[in-house]
Amino acid sequence: MTIAFATPSPLAAAGLTRSELRRALKQLRDSLPQRAQRESALDASLARELRQLQVTCIGAYCASRGEYDALKVVLRVAEQLGWPWRVALPVVRPSERSMSFHDWRPGQALHAGAYGIDEPAPQAPALEPELLLVPCVGFADDGLRLGYGGGYYDRYLEHRRRVRTIGLAFDACRVEGLSAQSHDRPLDVILTESARHDRSAP
């Protein structure tokens, strides 16, 4: 059964700094009504997307700070399909302002990284995902993403133009009038609980 969610108006970016936008969006995300139902709807959308893939490696993330948990869906669909791909999780190195992706399988230990986010062991084999699932604090219809301000995903993708990107967010985190900065890399697709925003679509 499809649940009809109330569609909130996008948050207007005009007059707000990116830091102010992030605070407002995180408050919206933390107070979402029907959170469990919204997550379930987004689970179904992501699962449909994953089932159509023909890739050998997916870059995912360990959810934190109220983010949507995409990893559980990746693992469930991979199990159902007989593990057609490898899963890679990010390791962040703040001193180098860099991020790399490393092989991980269910049952392998994770440890808290520099920002308290679970990461695989840095000595795990490094992988180059063909698809990257990206958490969004906020997003615009044209694929522009607002993250936490560290720029790790933008720097990682800067020289990896062939990597396909799917952002995960909730409807309430849509932003109107979000302007691109020089380092921003728009995402190919953004999935929410009720929509699929495809940057390549007319």
pLDDT tens per residue across span 10-42: 888 888 898 999 999 999 999 999 999 999 999
Q: Is the pLDDT of residue 174 over 70?
A: yes
Q: Is the pLDDT of residue 202 over 60?
A: no
Higher-confidence residue: 6 or 97?
Answer: 97
Q: What angle do CA 177, 188, 16 make, to 5 degrees?
A: 20
The pLDDT of residue 2 is: 55
Domain 65-197 sits in CATH 3.40.50.10420: yes
d(CA 103, CA 127): 6
Q: Specify the pTM.
A: 0.92
Q: Is the pLDDT of residue 1 over 50?
A: no
- 192 falls in which pLDDT band (50, 70, 90)? very high
Domains in the chain: boundaries = 65-197
